[in-house]
A and B are shown apart, each in its own frame.
Chain A
Amino acid sequence: MDQHSQRGTVSLRKVTKRFGDAVAVNAVNLEVEAGEFISLLGPSGCGKTTTLRMISGFELPTEGRVHISGRDATDTPPHLRTVNSVFQSYALFGHMTVAENVAFGLRVKRRDKPTIERKVQETLDLVQLSDFGSRFPGQLSGGQQQRVALARAVINEPDVLLLDEPLSALDLKLRQAMRYELTRLHDELAMTFVFVTHDQTEAITMSDRIAVMDQGEIHQLGTPVDIYERPATRFVAEFIGEVNMLEATVVGGDGTRTEVLLSSGDRLTCAPVGDSRLTPGVSVVLTVRPQRVLLTPEGGIDSQEHASLRGELRELLFLGDSTRGTVGLADGTELVAVRHNEDGTHPFGTLRPGDRVDVGWRHGTACLVQ
């Protein structure tokens, strides 16, 4: 294939990293497209940072190959790779001014002085630090240091920018502002961003695609909507947002629908779930977001379009912007429904704890995961 057109792509092929006996990354395959904003999302120790460090070259894969911009870079040392990183701790050079920090990459590549000066100013303008060139990093706030770290990396015009939890050291408000800033930078630079985070909100709000990782494996790779609405595994469903999980067993179905028996004894038809692995007898977990769960008095759910279950309302919790209702099913399993509060009225009508209720959801909003 034409290498030029592949500039900015990253391809991990069966990449494994072991530290002694511990497997940090296990046979990961990942194709990052040029210009994409992709997040590696997962709890600490899931292998996301190790994966990133194998792209930057600071860790060598035990097995597998790493391709950057269409070329095999597995054995390329970090300083020769066409990627640059923004480190979690920023890792700014304290003995250099902001301008010297930003100029570092160009200086070690022996670019001529006027070019360096021009590009440093351009890049400082880009991150809105135009007047800070002569300061030292120690004199800047956390958010400003973050911008310097970004400028220092992007000035080299890397094929891929690697960001290792760059926002985790900032306070909440700054984090939100920097999220917007990063998205803006990504749009302006049209550069591939690989972003490592444990914060689902960051991943969901900024990414084109998210790779959810746990225990060294990618559980699901998809758009934020995919990940949120159609989690592929139990881990993904649990990790992203709040979710109801009901243990169930597959009892039947065809190519388009699957019938399950819940632990509460209810039988449900889930549609359209046509997964060939879901043969009768397989135990699964039914996941449904609380916002998708309807909560009505008995008989209040249209069973043609909805799956519905019978239960007892145990608790109603007013949360300010929303109300949360907890329903106990026949076997004691709990199911949560959350509804936004609108114009001051109670979103669940006259229901009170102790009432017999119906809970349900529109077909297709629940997912079966293994």
Chain B
Amino acid sequence: MMAARAARAASGGSGTALRRSAAPLLAPGLLWISVVYVIPGALILVYSFLTPKLGGGVVWQATLDSWEEIVARGRRSDAGWGTVGAAALRGIATAAVAAVPTVAAARYLGRRISRGLGFAALLGALAAVNHLASAYNNYTAVFARSVVWSLWATVVCICLALPLAVFISSRSSPVTKNALLIAVMVSFWTSMLVRTYAIRFLLANTGPLNNLIEALGLDRVVFLNTRFAVILGLVYTALPFMILPLYAATERVERAQMEAARDLGARPPQVFADVFVPMVRPGLTVGVVMVFVLSVSQYLVPTLLGGGKTNMIANLLELQFGEAFNWPLGAAVAALFSVVTFAGLYLTVGRRDQEELL
């Protein structure tokens, strides 16, 4: 990533000739990437076309069985049209309710109304998908659930990380800044397994949180094995990956530009939307991609906080590679999901942000 950007900066953006002559220098990096990413990726794809061997592994005999199985399991329905209708209704209701604040926000920020409506529609679609994903338990539902929950985690991470990043970068003393940044990273020092167990302990039916709730005179709440617990775990795990790039981006925000916007008549929310967000956008993009990719492939969190079974994609993979000993099917699921995730990111992350990422 950095190497490519440095090369671009050095070439001053002038011409591909320089970049071509730099190709030999890039060779070790490219070799590394191919050993670490391309070859294993290709191997997974190859395995998905092989025959499963009893007790794990593959028989080198080509077949389309795994892919046919995926299609079949993706379509298998354990809920009726009623569920679909309910999901649609829920989507429409969500969009309608969401439209009020989003359109108001669009008006307030001087944007087109259609942008507000579009955002409301997106929220509605997500709600509908979410509803379907919790009603069904076929492969499509697992895919959808992984994506929606990860999106939720990403949104929550943005909401938590943005004020925090601004807070850290607005500290005047570098000592304070470093101390806060270390505090953010300190969670990396403990094994993720331990941390996830800790959350599990906190949220347990007889855990501290529920004890507190009971002490307040309320009924105990079931947190574990719910969507709430999984998303909380995803947020907890991925939050530093949102804070750090956002912090780096907010550090580069020029106060003068925000003041200039203010000076030109922009109210504080407009300054935020029109100047601040575009300026931190590169960092935001990095954070979004990192948090989403990390969350969508999470295994520990859905297993320990979501009750295992087939919560998210990683659980499905575990099931195929572990219990079912169907490696080709697992490989096919992994390959398909990688392609879907990559295509999704490619389509949703804008051109300029993609350059920023590379």
Q: B254: shortest Cβ distance to chain A, in Å?
A: 6
How many pairs of A and B residues are in contact by the CB < 8 Å rule? 67
Which A residues have a C-beta under 8 Å from some C-beta of B? 56, 58, 77-80, 83-85, 87-89, 91-95, 104-105, 107-110, 152-153, 156
Known: A91-B254, A108-B110. A58 touches B259 (CB 8 A): yes
B264 pairs with A104, CB closer than 8 A? yes
The answer to whether B257 has its CB under 8 Å from any CB of chain A is: yes
A85 pairs with B260, CB closer than 8 A? yes
* Interface set, chain B 250-270, CB cutoff 8 A to A: 254, 256-257, 259-267, 270
Q: B69: shortest Cβ distance to chain A, in Å?
A: 47
B260 pairs with A107, CB closer than 8 A? no
Q: Which of A56, A88, A109 contacts B265 (CB 8 A)?
A: A109
A78 pairs with B110, CB closer than 8 A? no
B267 pairs with A89, CB closer than 8 A? no
The answer to whether B278 has its CB under 8 Å from any CB of chain A is: yes
Q: Which of B259, B270, B275 contacts A78 (CB 8 A)?
A: B259
Pairs across A and B, CB under 8 Å, 5 listed: A79-B262, A79-B264, A80-B265, A89-B256, A91-B260
The answer to whether B65 has its CB under 8 Å from any CB of chain A is: no
Known: A87-B259, A87-B260, A108-B270. A95 touches B265 (CB 8 A): no
The answer to whether B294 has its CB under 8 Å from any CB of chain A is: no
Q: Which residue of B lies closest to A107 (CB)?
A: B110
B264 pairs with A108, CB closer than 8 A? yes
Q: Which of A84, A87, A109 contacts B256 (CB 8 A)?
A: A87
Which B residues have a C-beta under 8 Å from some C-beta of A? 110, 254, 256-257, 259-267, 270, 274-275, 278-279, 281
Q: Which residue of A lies closest to B266 (CB)?
A: A108
Contacts of B261 in A (CB 8 A): 93, 104, 108
A78 pairs with B263, CB closer than 8 A? yes
Q: A241: shortest Cβ distance to chain B, in Å?
A: 32
Contacts of B263 in A (CB 8 A): 56, 58, 78-79, 83-85, 153
The 9 closest A-B pairs by CB, nearest first: A91-B256, A105-B264, A91-B260, A95-B278, A108-B266, A78-B262, A91-B257, A85-B263, A87-B256
Q: Which of B259, B264, B270 contacts A152 (CB 8 A)?
A: B264
Contacts of A87 in B (CB 8 A): 256, 259-260
Contacts of B270 in A (CB 8 A): 108
Q: Which of A80, A89, A108, A110 contacts B274 (CB 8 A)?
A: A108
Contacts of A78 in B (CB 8 A): 259, 262-263
Q: A29: shortest Cβ distance to chain B, in Å?
A: 25
Cα A325 to Cα B340 with chains together (Å): 84
Cα A89 to Cα B265 with chains together (Å): 19
Q: A120: shortest Cβ distance to chain B, in Å?
A: 13
